[in-house]
């Protein structure tokens, strides 16, 4: 039997998912066309500065939104298992452990992004998948010594061997 809480959760989750997909697929040209139609010059200046900022961080933001959507879908599955009366205790424990693992991985990724921001002054996106760590850095130049520094900084945070790959994006 579906209760009101599940219906509200699914409704709000669907709304968030649709809005995030709309935001990602919305062309940046639409923002600049809206800014050019404005007659006030100060408003046009502010709007164009905003669109420049959005386009600069667009790649990293898109990657982060995509990863967040995947994790929200997985968390929704785990929550459904936890709230279902018919599931066994073992399945509920596994779902709870899955939710904890999602939170731990997200915390590790944020910690590593902060380390790269503080030490190397780089905007980055980090995705951890088991022992693989994928790092996407917002930088035009593909510098081997910088990639090596990033790998060393990340490996210093772990006791076990982590496989770090670095990708540069414009």
Q: Where are the alpha helices (DSSP H) in 84-142?
A: 89-120
Whether the model clears a pTM of 0.75, i.e. scores above it, the answer is no
Given a cut of 60, whether residue 160 has pLDDT beyond it is yes
Distance CA 38, CA 42 (A): 9
Neighbour-count burial for 92-103, b at 16+ CB within 10 Å, e otherwise = eeebeebbeebe
- The token pair that represents 8 in the structure block: 């509200």
Q: How many CA atoms lie within 13 A of 57 on its CB side?
A: 12
Q: Which pLDDT score, from 0 to 100, does residue 39 have?
A: 42
pLDDT per position as a tens digit, 32-87:
554 444 444 444 444 445 444 445 457 888 888 999 999 999 999 999 998 988 98
Say yes or no to pLDDT of 157 above 70.
Answer: yes
pLDDT surpasses 80 at 31 = no
């Amino acid at each position: 039997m579906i209760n009101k809480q599940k219906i509200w959760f699914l409704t709000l989750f669907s709304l968030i998912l649709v809005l995030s997909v709309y935001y990602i697929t919305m062309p940046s040209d639409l923002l600049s066309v809206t800014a050019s139609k404005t007659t006030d010059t100060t408003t046009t200046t502010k709007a164009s500065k905003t669109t420049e900022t959005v386009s600069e961080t667009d790649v990293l933001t898109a990657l982060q939104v995509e990863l967040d959507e995947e994790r929200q879908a997985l968390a929704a599955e785990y929550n459904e298992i936890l709230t279902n009366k018919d599931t066994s205790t073992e399945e509920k424990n596994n779902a709870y452990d899955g939710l904890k693992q999602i939170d731990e991985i997200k915390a590790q990724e944020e910690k590593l992004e902060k380390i790269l921001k503080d030490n190397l002054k780089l905007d980055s996106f980090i995705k951890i998948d088991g022992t693989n760590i994928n790092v996407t850095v917002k930088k035009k130049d593909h510098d081997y010594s910088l990639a090596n520094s990033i790998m060393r900084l990340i490996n210093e945070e772990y006791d076990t061997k982590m496989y770090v790959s670095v990708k540069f994006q414009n």
